[in-house]
């Protein structure tokens, strides 16, 4: 390892692909455009003060959501490119290498850089408000989590124009992902991008665990928490115990690739299968990390729009606890076919099937909540109602896959692809749409247009089923995943064409959704009351958007669905008579951004094996940590008169809103 | 909150960890037990030391959140044992390939 | 964030502010994550222990005297660290600083011996790239060593702050947390001692 040897990679900038050149031009133009707008409108200061240095969980949540929607676009474009290539047999739209890169980035981005930040965005927005807290336990750490995620995502995403994308699949199986078969920076980007954002995720897990356990409003016992908060708590626990495994696995493969270690190589007596083992010890809990918050969102939406308390609250909680434990003992079902013996496969078959029991309990609870409810078919409710049958299909095909002998047939076929898209799209993505629309007024003070929202829902849902139902069939007909083309005459052509049409419809659905946002910014119905859906939980008891301090007075909780209870029992008036006190808030800080920039520099250096740059970046990180240790934030107080002014303004607007509607 | 016998507890913990360490060493190097026995015994001794450190040195069961702390460590150990035992089973006792 | 200046004086100093309680619970959660982090490294090491690629085995490399001294150094440092935290609870700044310096010296001694051990292996041709077994050995023991190194730097920062400001709810909390971290490193070493060195001598 020579520190001063800056080995030049074969291609620094990726060349030779017209699409990549187009992307280059677009990236440069977009960046110039952003710089121009910020400079022209003199917004640099605003950007730094209001967003880059903020520690407010609501703003951090919004930044997570913006990144997630951008990544949904990027991952979606990858998907559409793949579907275009596969629309007909023997197409030459993408070559094999390019196709490999695109399915790799599609999978990685959708899981790590789309689903995760989407979920974290919604948690950040909703959880402190739901438990009646003024912020999370460690606000600066929360900002650092976001900026580390952003640094990791940026590092991963620049790979396609600088140095080349990773191309060994989102699972990055060795020995394919090792140095011998896959030299160059591509896989390094995968390893370091995931490593950096993974560290941020672990911190978020700790942060939300402590927040939920220690900062609930008085009277909110654990069994009186809103279901989304419960799901966040369980998710945080899974994150804390699963993410370190990913950290280690990535670090070991990085050592293989950069420093000649032999963990997963064929040479030196390494064990390539050990990677699959470690990857899925993290990877399976990860699936529950993105699905449990989705369950939480659906529970909130169903209960709100069926206007009923959630059926079987405690059964919901216990089933999530059961899922969290079971999620750590099923990982082998991802590689039944790697040659583990019958004992191993049998045990993991059984544990996998066991998970369907608590999940089934949840499905029945949602159905019973709907039963005899006074249902309002709003857009979030439509996404939720679509979720139940969709996820059921995904879940039941999962039980089919869990049977080890049968899995030898399904493994690596499009049957599997369809199964996990039914769970991940039908579960997580539907929940992201539902949650985003549901909490949108709380973030921005206006509702998204319902008519456009329903259009986007119906087109997306039709497209989704057109795209993925045929994949089950074609998988059973033997079409394997990750092939970039196929010959004519196998009977796959028609189905593939239908799938591609479905994928384009999903793209159109997404585009309508984006248009719906832009349209609603101007024309959306303003939310003056803070409670646009006749909600049940505490986040609807404060103004929309919520003030910096969330609640002028910390609410007292007596029941599940505390706000609903208060509305029915006229407890609002009593609360408002309590005197206001100055509110203690944390100061904003630029440190998370600066630390993440150093982390990015370190990551970039190691990607190209420029170790000196990598070490400089790491030293910068350590320096930031030491600086923080020596500069303890004491926070500041918001004085009573400012709180009074803010509250009075909301009350005035709210009263005017009520007189217009009545 | 201040325990008068804290110092005694600390010394007690330290002595026990020394005893357990040397016991493990002697069992490994100076006995003729079968390997399986040795492994079982010294791993058990290591877990005893873990408990001693957690209780006597790290004050695991102190503070307002002691139950959370205990559950947290127990859950961590559960995942740790599953990871280590599972990996060894899957990687080394893989009856299909051996 | 909880207000660090609001205190409840019936508790030990580090638990007096709400902020201190949150951070101590946070560090426990972090240690939970660290348990799994090291468990993964143990899983890797134990899976790869026999994969020596014809190179040196653990029986060829490990020296009983060396690793026993390392073990005793770290065990004792955990003990002195506990004494230091006890002094802190009595409010004795001097007692804390003294015992913590002893702890750091013992930690430093451990580190020097470990670096020496690594250097010996590398000079004997048993480096990271020699075999899967050695990769896993250096990854596991090296990660622990890196934690000790970071721990020394962290403790030094805290010592400086205690020296300057005396014990406040903030510095007491930091002293307590670094103490927890230090004990935890000893716990991990007990398992390295057992699973790597002792088992390495017999199989």
**pLDDT 10s digits, A103-153:** 999 999 999 999 999 999 999 999 999 999 999 999 999 999 999 999 999
The residues near A94 (Cβ < 8 Å, ≥ 6 apart) are: A81, A82, A84, A85, A102, A484
CB pair distance less than 8 Å for C64 and B25: yes
- Distance, CA of A361 to CA of C184 (rounded, Å): 40
Tokens 């014990």 sit at which residue? C167
Residue A82: count other Cβ atoms within 10 Å of its Cβ: 20
The rounded distance, in Å, linking the Cα atoms of A553 and C108 is: 51
In this complex, the residue of A137, A268, A626 whose CB is nearest that of residue C26 is: A137
- Residues 6+ positions from C126 with CB-CB distance below 8 Å: C55, C56, C61, C134
Using the Cβ of B5 and the Cβ atoms of chain A, whether some distance falls under 8 Å is answered with no
Q: Which helix (H) or strand (E) holds A585?
A: strand A583-585
d(CA A417, CA A421): 6
Q: Please tell me the distance in Å from C59's CA to the nearest CA on chain B.
A: 12
Q: Do both B58 and B81 map to the same domain? A: no
Do residues B45 and B13 share a domain?
A: yes
Identify the pLDDT of residue C5: 65
Asked if pLDDT for residue A318 goes beyond 90, the answer is yes
- Give the list of residues 6+ apart from residue A543 with CB closer than 8 angstroms, or none: A530, A650, A654
User: Which of B71, B84, B90, B91 would best serve as a mutation to test chain A binding (most A beta carbons within 10 A)?
Assistant: B90
Residue A572 has pLDDT above 70, yes or no: no
Domain residues for the domain of B71 are: 63-98
The pLDDT tens digits for C153-179 are 999 999 999 999 999 999 999 999 999
User: Torsions phi, psi of A74, nearest 5?
Assistant: -60, -50
Residues β-bridged to residue A636: A585
As a whole number of Å, the CA-based R_g of chain A is: 25
Q: Count CA atoms within 13 Å of residue A541 on its CB side.
A: 30
Structure tokens at A195: 């490593």
Q: List the single residue in A206, A245, A268 with the smallest CB-CB distance to C26.
A: A206
Give the best residue of C3, C18, C40, C161 to mutate against chain A (max A CB count within 10 A).
C40
As a 3-state breakdown, chain A gives helix, strand, coil percent values, each rounded to 5, of: 70, 0, 25
Position C4 confidence tier, pLDDT thresholds 50, 70, 90:
low
CB-based burial of residue B35 (10 Å sphere; 0-12 exposed, 13-18 middle, 19+ buried)?
exposed
Of residues C41, C90, C74, C96, the one with CA closest to residue C183: C74
Give the whole-angstrom CA distance, residue B30 versus residue B44. Answer: 18
For chain C, the structural domain boundaries read: 34-43+64-202
Q: What is the pTM of this model?
A: 0.95
Q: What is the pLDDT of residue A525?
A: 92
Alpha helices in A570-639 (DSSP H): 571-576, 591-607, 611-630
Q: Which residue has the tokens 């006890």?
A: C86
Q: What whole-number distance in Å separates Cα of residue A99 and Cα of residue A5?
A: 33
Give Cβ neighbours of residue C9 (< 8 Å, ≥ 6 apart).
C16
Q: For C114, how many CA atoms within 13 A lie in the half-sphere containing its CB?
A: 27
The number of residues making up chain B comes to: 98
Tokens of C68: 């026993």
Task: Give how far A443 is from chain C: nearest CA, Å.
Answer: 21
Pair B38, B1 in one domain: yes
Chain C environment of A243 (Cβ under 8 Å): 33
Do residues A274 and A253 make contact, with C-beta atoms less than 8 angstroms apart? no
Region of A339 on the Ramachandran plot (φ > 0 left; ψ -120 to 50 alpha; else beta): left
- Tell me which chain B residue has its CA closest to the CA of residue A345: B90
Angle at C143 between CA A610 and CA B79, to 5 degrees: 120
Contacts of C161 in chain A (CB under 8 A): 629-630
d(CA A539, CA A550): 9
Give the separation between CA A254 and CA A607, rounded to whole angstroms. Answer: 9
Q: Å from C23 to nearest chain A CA? A: 8
pLDDT at C16 over 90: no
Task: Report the pLDDT value the prediction gives residue A407, as an integer from 0 to 100.
Answer: 94
Tell whether B72 and B54 lie within a shared domain: no
Q: Chains B and C: how many Cβ contacts under 8 Å?
A: 135
A240 close to C33: Cβ distance less than 8 angstroms = yes
Chain A neighbors of C44, CB-CB under 8 A: 248, 252, 263, 274, 278
pLDDT of residue A514: 97
> Does B92 lie at the interface with A, CB-CB under 8 angstroms?
no
* Residue bearing tokens 């095909």: A397
Residues B44 and B68 placed together within one structural domain of the fold: no
C-alpha distances (whole Å) from A102 to each of A9, A157, A423 are 21, 12, 21
CB contact under 8 A, A271 and B87: no
pLDDT over 90 (residue A571):
no
The ipTM estimated for the assembled molecules is: 0.95
- What's the gap between Cα A227 and its chain centre? 18
Q: Is A270's CB within 8 Å of C174's CB? A: no
Compute the distance between CA of residue A186 and CA of residue A105 in angstroms, rounded to an integer: 11
Decide: C106 and C180 in contact? Cβ < 8 Å.
no
**Closest-CA residue in chain B for A242?**
B79
Nearest to A103 by CA among A83, A82, A87: A82
Q: Is there a contact between B80 and C44 if contact means CB atoms under 8 Å apart?
A: no
- Mean pLDDT score across all residues of chain A: 93
Candidates B15, B21, B92, partner chain C, best to mutate (most C CBs within 10 A):
B21
Q: Strand runs (DSSP E) across A456-548, as ranges?
A: none
N residues, chain A? 662
Nearest by CB to C132, which of A241, A263, A278? A263
Better-predicted residue by pLDDT, A229 or B98:
A229
DSSP state of A637: E
On chain A, the residues whose CB falls within 8 A of the CB of B78 are 325, 328
* DSSP state letters, A379-423: HHHHHHHHHHHHHHHHHHHHHHHHSHHHHHHHTTBHHHHHHHHHH
Closest residue in chain C to residue B94, using alpha carbons only:
C47
**Nearest 5°: phi and psi at A374?**
-95, 85
**Shared-domain flag, residues B4 and B47:** yes
Q: Are C45 and A263 in contact (CB under 8 A)?
A: no
pLDDT of residue A662: 43
Closest-approach residue (CA) in chain A for B97:
A339
- Number of inter-chain CB pairs under 8 A, A vs C: 140
CB contacts of C82 in chain B (<8 Å) are 10, 13-14, 56-57
A276, pLDDT greater than 90? yes
DSSP class of C197: I
Residue-wise pLDDT tens digits, B8-34: 888 999 999 999 999 999 999 999 999
- Least CB–CB distance from C47: residue in A215, A274, A585: A274
Q: Are C183 and B59 in contact (CB under 8 A)?
A: no
- Per residue in A437-496, pLDDT tens? 999 999 999 999 999 999 999 999 999 999 999 999 999 999 999 999 999 999 899 999
Q: Are C29 and A209 in contact (CB under 8 A)?
A: yes
Q: Which residue of chain B has the CA closest to A271?
A: B91
**CB pair distance less than 8 Å for A341 and B94:** yes
Cβ atoms A250, A239 nearer than 8 A: no
C109 pLDDT more than 70: yes
Q: How many angstroms separate the CA atoms of A213 and A648, rounded? A: 32
pLDDT in tens, B34-65: 999 999 999 999 999 999 999 988 888 887 88
Nearest Cα residue to C88 out of C77, C76, C96, C80: C96
Instruction: Report chain B's mean pLDDT, rounded to a whole number.
Output: 88
Q: Which residues does chain A have within 8 Å of residue B82's beta carbon, measured at their own beta carbons?
A: 328-329
B77 and B30: one domain?
no
Measured between CA atoms, the residue of chain A closest to residue C130 is: A268
Q: Is A54 in contact with A143 (CB distance < 8 Å)?
A: yes
Burial of A266 (C-beta count, 10 Å sphere; 0-12/13-18/19+): middle
In total, how many domains does chain B have? 2
CA Rg value for chain C? 19
Q: How many CB atoms lie within 10 A of CB A421?
A: 20
* Cα-based torsion angle of the residue sequence A378, A381, A385, A391 in order, rounded to the nearest 10 degrees: 140
* Same-domain status, B39 and B81: no
Report the alpha-carbon distance of residue B85 to residue B91 in Å, rounded: 10
**What average pLDDT does this structure show over A627-636?**
91
pLDDT at residue B1 greater than cutoff 50: no
**C-alpha–C-alpha distance, residues A21 and A13, integer Å:** 10
Rg, C-alpha atoms of chain B: 18
Which DSSP letter does residue A139 get? H
Same domain, B13 and B56: yes
Mean pLDDT of chain C: 94
Q: How far apart are CA A379 and CA A83, in angstroms?
A: 28
In this structure, are B77 and B94 located in the same domain?
yes
Decide: C126 and C55 in contact? Cβ < 8 Å.
yes
pLDDT reported for residue A596: 97
B21 and A CB contact within 8 Å: no
In words, the CATH class of domain C34-43+64-202 is mainly alpha
Containing A367, the helix (H) or strand (E) segment is helix A342-370
3-state class (DSSP) for residue A583: strand
Residue B36 shares a structural domain with residue B52 = yes
Q: Are A197 and A112 in contact (CB under 8 A)?
A: yes
- pLDDT at A603 (0 to 100): 97
């Amino acid at each position: 390892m020579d520190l001063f040897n800056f080995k030049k990679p074969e291609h620094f900038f990726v060349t030779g692909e017209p699409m990549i050149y187009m992307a280059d031009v677009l990236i440069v133009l977009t960046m110039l455009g952003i710089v121009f707008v910020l400079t022209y409108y003199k917004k640099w200061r605003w950007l730094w003060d209001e967003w880059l240095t903020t520690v407010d969980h609501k703003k951090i949540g919004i930044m997570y959501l913006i990144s997630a929607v951008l990544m949904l676009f990027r991952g979606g474009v990858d998907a559409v490119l793949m579907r275009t290539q596969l629309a007909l047999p023997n197409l030459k739209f993408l070559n094999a290498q390019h196709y490999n890169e695109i399915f790799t980035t599609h999978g990685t981005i959708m899981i790590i850089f789309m689903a995760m930040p989407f979920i974290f965005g919604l948690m950040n927005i909703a959880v402190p408000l739901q438990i009646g807290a003024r912020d999370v336990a460690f606000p600066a750490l929360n900002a650092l989590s976001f900026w580390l995620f952003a640094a990791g995502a940026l590092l991963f995403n620049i790979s396609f124009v600088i140095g080349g994308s990773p191309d060994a699949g989102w699972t990055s199986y060795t020995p394919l992902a090792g140095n011998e078969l896959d030299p160059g920076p591509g896989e390094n980007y995968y390893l370091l991008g995931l490593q950096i954002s993974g560290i941020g995720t672990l911190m978020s897990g700790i942060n939300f665990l402590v927040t939920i356990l220690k900062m609930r409003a008085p009277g909110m016992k654990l069994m009186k928490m809103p279901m989304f908060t419960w799901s966040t708590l369980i998710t945080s626990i899974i994150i804390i115990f699963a993410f370190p495994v990913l950290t280690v696995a990535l670090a070991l493969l990085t050592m293989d690739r950069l420093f000649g270690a032999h963990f997963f190589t064929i040479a030196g007596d390494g064990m390539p299968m050990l990677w699959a083992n470690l990857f899925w010890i993290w990877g399976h809990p990860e699936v529950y990390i993105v699905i449990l918050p989705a369950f939480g969102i659906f529970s909130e939406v169903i209960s709100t729009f069926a206007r009923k308390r959630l059926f079987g609250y405690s059964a919901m909680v216990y089933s999530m606890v059961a899922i969290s434990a079971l999620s750590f003992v099923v990982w082998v079902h991802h590689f039944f076919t790697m040659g583990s013996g019958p004992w191993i496969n049998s045990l993991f078959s059984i544990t996998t099937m066991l998970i369907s029991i608590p999940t089934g309990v949840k499905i029945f609870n949602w159905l019973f909540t709907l039963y005899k409810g006074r249902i309002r078919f709003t857009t979030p409710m439509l996404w939720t109602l679509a979720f139940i049958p969709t996820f059921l299909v995904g879940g039941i095909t999962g039980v089919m896959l869990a049977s080890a002998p049968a899995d030898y047939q399904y493994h690596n076929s499009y049957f599997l692809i369809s199964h996990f898209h039914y769970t991940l799209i039908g579960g997580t993505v539907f929940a992201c749409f539902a949650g985003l629309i549901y909490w949108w007024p709380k973030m921005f003070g206006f509702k998204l247009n319902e008519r456009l929202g329903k259009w986007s829902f119906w087109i997306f849902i039709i497209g989704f089923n057109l795209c993925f139902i045929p994949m089950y069939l074609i998988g059973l007909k033997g079409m394997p995943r990750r092939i970039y083309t196929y010959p004519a005459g196998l009977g796959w052509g028609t189905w593939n064409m239908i799938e591609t049409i479905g994928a384009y419809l999903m793209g159109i659905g997404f585009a309508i959704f984006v248009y719906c946002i832009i349209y609603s910014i101007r024309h959306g119905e303003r939310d003056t009351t803070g409670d646009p859906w006749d909600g049940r939980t505490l986040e609807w008891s404060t103004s929309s958007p919520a003030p910096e301090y969330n609640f002028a007075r910390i609410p007292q909780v007596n029941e599940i669905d505390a706000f609903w209870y208060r509305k029915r029992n006229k407890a609002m008036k009593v609360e408002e008579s309590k005197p206001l006190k100055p509110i203690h808030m944390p100061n904003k800080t630029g440190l998370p951004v600066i630390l993440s920039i150093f982390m990015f520099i370190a990551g970039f250096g190691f990607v190209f094996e420029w170790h000196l740059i990598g070490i400089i970046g790491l030293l910068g990180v350590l320096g930031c940590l030491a600086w923080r240790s020596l500069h303890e934030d004491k926070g500041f107080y918001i004085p009573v008169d400012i709180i009074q002014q803010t509250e009075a303004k909301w009350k005035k607007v709210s009263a005017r809103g009520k007189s217009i509607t009545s | 909150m201040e325990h008068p016998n804290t110092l005694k507890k600390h010394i007690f913990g330290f002595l026990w960890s020394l005893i357990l360490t040397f016991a493990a060493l002697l069992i490994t190097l100076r006995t003729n037990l079968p390997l399986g026995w040795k492994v079982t015994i010294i791993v058990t001794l290591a877990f005893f030391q873990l408990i001693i450190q957690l209780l006597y040195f790290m004050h695991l069961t102190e503070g307002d959140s002691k139950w959370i702390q205990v559950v947290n460590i127990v859950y961590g150990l559960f995942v740790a044992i599953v990871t280590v035992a599972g990996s060894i089973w899957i990687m080394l006792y893989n009856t299909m390939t051996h | 964030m909880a207000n660090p200046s609001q205190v409840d004086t019936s508790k030990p100093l580090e638990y007096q502010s709400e902020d201190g309680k949150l951070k101590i619970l946070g560090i426990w959660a972090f240690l939970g994550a660290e348990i799994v982090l090291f468990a993964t490294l143990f899983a890797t090491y134990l899976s790869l222990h026999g994969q020596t690629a014809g190179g040196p085995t653990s029986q060829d490399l490990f020296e009983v005297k060396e690793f026993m001294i390392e073990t005793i150094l770290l065990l004792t440092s955990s003990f002195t660290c506990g004494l230091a935290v006890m002094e802190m609870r009595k409010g004795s700044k001097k007692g804390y600083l003294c015992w913590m310096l002893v702890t750091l010296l013992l930690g430093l001694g451990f580190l020097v011996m470990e670096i020496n051990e690594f250097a010996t292996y590398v000079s004997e041709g048993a480096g990271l790239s020699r075999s899967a077994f050695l990769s896993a050995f250096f990854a596991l023991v090296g990660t622990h060593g890196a934690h000790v190194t970071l721990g020394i730097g962290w403790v030094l920062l805290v010592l400086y702050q205690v020296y300057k400001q005396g014990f406040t709810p903030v510095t007491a909390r930091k002293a307590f947390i670094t103490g927890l971290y230090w004990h935890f490193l000893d716990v991990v070493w007990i398992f390295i001692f057992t699973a790597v060195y002792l088992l390495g001598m017999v199989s």
